[in-house]
Chains A and B, each alone.
Chain A
Amino acid sequence: MSTADAPAVPARTRRVNPLRRFLNRPEFGAVAGTILVFLVFLLLTGGKGFLEARGIAGQLQVAAQIGILGATVSLLMIAGEFDLSIGSMIGAAGLVLALCLVHFQLPVWLAVIITFAFAIGWGFLQGWIVVRTGLPSFLVTLASLFILRGGSIGATRAITNLTVVSGVNDKIAGDPFAALFNATLLSITIPGGGRADFRIEILWWIIIAGLATWVLLRTRFGNWIFGTGGSATAARNLGVPVARVKISLFMCTAASAALLATIQVMSVGSADVLRGQNKEFEAIITAVIGGTALSGGFGSALGSMFGALTLGITQLGIFFVPGFNTDWYQVVLGGLLLAAVIVNDYLRRRASEARR
C-alpha cells in the first residue's frame, strides 16, 4: 500500500524511423503496387503508345473517372459501409441531367443543381434507411442498385420512348457553366496526326481526392469516420454522431456519382440508361487497392488515388501490349484485386500487431 506515488514505468515503445512509419501507412501497398504495375506494362509494351502523350492522357482519364468515385467510396468504406448503387446512380443522374436539358429545356446551371439534388437526396434516403433499420448497407444499396437502374429505364422510356437521351450538345454549347465539366485543360497536337487531350475531370479528381484526404486526416469529421468504422457502438459511446457520419458519406458517394455523370453527359453529349454499370465494383476495387479495409476502420483516400492510377495504367497498358486487347482488362483487374487484398491484409496485420 505504501509504494511510491509516481510509478516509474520504463518506455515500452521504440522510436520509429520515418521510412518504417511509411511502411505502416495504409497507402504504402498502393504506391508500391502502382509503381510495379507501371513497370510491368512499360516492359510489356516497350513504352510504345503507353508512354506517349495520348497513352498518358488516356490513363489519366480512366484514372480520373474512377478516382472521383474511389475517393468518396473509400471514406464510406472506412466508416464501415458499402454503396453498390453508385453505378446505377451514374446512369440515373445522367438521365436526370439530359432530360432536364433536352426535354424540359432548363438552363444548364439549374439542370446541374437538380441532378445533384436528386443524387444527394437519394444518398440521404439510402443512408437514413441503413442507419434506421440497422440492415447491412450491402443489402440496402443492392436493392437501390436495381431500383435506380430499373427506374431509369422505365421512366426514360415512358417520357421519351427511348433509353438514350441525346441532343445535349446543342443545349450546352458555349455555356460557361458546362465548361466546368467538359473543358479540355491541355491539348497536345501529335506530329504524326491526332491530339492528346488532358480533360478537366483530371482536375476534379485531384480536387476531390485531395479534399477527401484532408477531411480524413485533418478534421474531426475524419476522426469520426475512422471511429465509426472501427466500432460504431464504441464510437457512439464516445459521443461520435455515428448516424450523421454515415448519412453524410452516403450523400457524398451519390454526389460523386452525379459529378461523374455530369462530366460524361456533357463530354459525350448524351445520356444512356446503361451507363455506369460495374462502376460500383471498380470503385470498391480502387479503394481496396488503395489500402482501405473491407472491414472498415482503416484506409486512405490518398491511397485511392494510387488505386485509380493503377486501374488507368492497367486499362490503357493492356491495350498497347502486342497480342492483347482490352477484353482482358477484367481478368487483370480481378487478379489485381486479389493481390491487393492479400498484400494489404498482410501489411495491415503487420502494422497493427507487430512490435508487441
Chain B
Amino acid sequence: MSDTAPPVLEARGVSKYFGRVIALEDVSLSVRAGEVNCLLGDNGAGKSTLIKLLSGVYQPDSGTLLMDGQPLELASPRDALDRGIATVFQDLAVMPLMSITRNFFLGSEPTRGSGPFRRFDLAACDDIARAQMREIGIEVRDTSQLVGTLSGGERQTVAIARAEYFGARALILDEPTSALGVKEAAIVLRHVLRARSRGLAVIFITHNVQHALPIGDTFTILNHGRLAGTYRRGEVDLEQLLRLMGGGEELNELARELEELARENAGARVARTVPPPAEVPPPPAG
C-alpha cells in the first residue's frame, strides 16, 4: 500500500565530477518509507559521493533529487537536516575532545530563554542524550565524558543515536559496520531494522554483502561510478551481488590462485620428502 506513495528520497540520473574524475554518472536510487535500500559497491565506487548529494554536502552536476516526489534543492547539510534527512558519514563526525552531550546536539542545539539570554539547554540535553544512548544499548552515566574516552564502536553508536534522533524522515548510514567487531555490527544492524519499522526511509551503505543481505529491501549496486543494477529482496543472491560489485571476477581468480598454490605446495613437499621413501607426506591443509 505504501508502494503507491512516492519515495521519500530519490536521486534521478545524478552525476558528479571532481575535475576529471567521474565520481558518479547517471545514477538513480530511491527509497520509500519503512524500507531499507542497501547501497553496495567496492571502494571508490561512488557510494559516499552519492549520499553526500542526498545530504546536501555536494550538489549534483546534473540530474535531480526529489523528496516525496517533489524536486529537492539542498544547498547545505543544514537544508537536509531541516528536512529530516540525517546522515552518519563515513568519517563519523564525532569530536573526540567534546562531551557526549555536546557531540550529540552539535549543530542542532535546543535553546531556552530568548534574546541575549538564549542559552544551550545542557541539563535537558544530558537527559535526552543519556536516554537515546540507553535506547541504542549503551549505558552512559556521565554524559559530560569526552567522546575520545569511548571505544570505536561506542563512538559509532553516538553518531547513529544522534542521526536516529534527528532524522525524522530518512536515515543514511555510510559504512557504519566496516570498523566494527561482529557483536557491535549486529547491534548496528538491529538499529537499522528498528529505524525501518519506525517508518523511516533508510539508506544503508556497505561493501560487506553479508551485512546487506539480511536487512535490505532493495539493493542498489554501484560500480566505478555507474549504476550496476537495482534489485528487490529475493531477486539476487550473494554471488550475484558480489559479481555486480565488480568483485566476483577477482574472487574467482583468487580462489583459482589459492588452489594452484595449495597444489604447488603439496608438490614441493612431496619432492622434498622423496629421499626417505617410507614416509608419507601430510595432507595439504585444506
Chain A interface (Cβ within 8 Å of chain B)?
A: 1, 3, 5, 7, 9-16, 21, 24, 218-220, 222-224, 226-227, 230-231, 233-241, 293, 297-298, 348, 351-356
Contacts and interface: CB of A to CB of B under 8 A. Distances in A.
Contacts of B55: 237
Contacts of A234: 89, 91-95
Contacts, number: 121
B109 A223 contact: yes
B77 A239 contact: yes
> Interface on chain A toward B: helix, strand, loop, or mixed SS?
loop
Given A219-B118, A234-B92, A239-B77, 4 more contacts: A7-B137, A9-B139, A238-B93, A238-B108
B213 interface: no
Contacts of A219: 111, 118-120
Contact of B98 (A24, A218, A297): A297
Contacts of B38: none
B97 A227 contact: no
B196 to A, nearest CB: 14
17 contacts: A3-B186, A5-B190, A7-B137, A7-B187, A10-B139, A12-B139, A13-B141, A218-B120, A219-B119, A223-B105, A227-B106, A234-B94, A237-B57, A239-B78, A240-B107, A241-B78, A356-B151
Contact of B77 (A11, A218, A238): A238
Nearest to B81: A239
Contact of A226 (B95, B137, B214): B95
B122 A218 contact: yes
A351 B99 CA distance: 11
Interface residues of B, number: 45
A237 B93 contact: yes
Interface string B76-94: 1110011000010101111
B236 to A, nearest CB: 20
B16 interface: no
Given A226-B102, A237-B93, A15 B87 contact: no
The 7 residue pairs across chains A and B that have the minimum distance between CB atoms: A230-B95, A352-B148, A238-B107, A234-B93, A220-B109, A239-B107, A11-B139
A132 B180 CA distance: 37
A348 B97 contact: yes
A342 B49 CA distance: 41
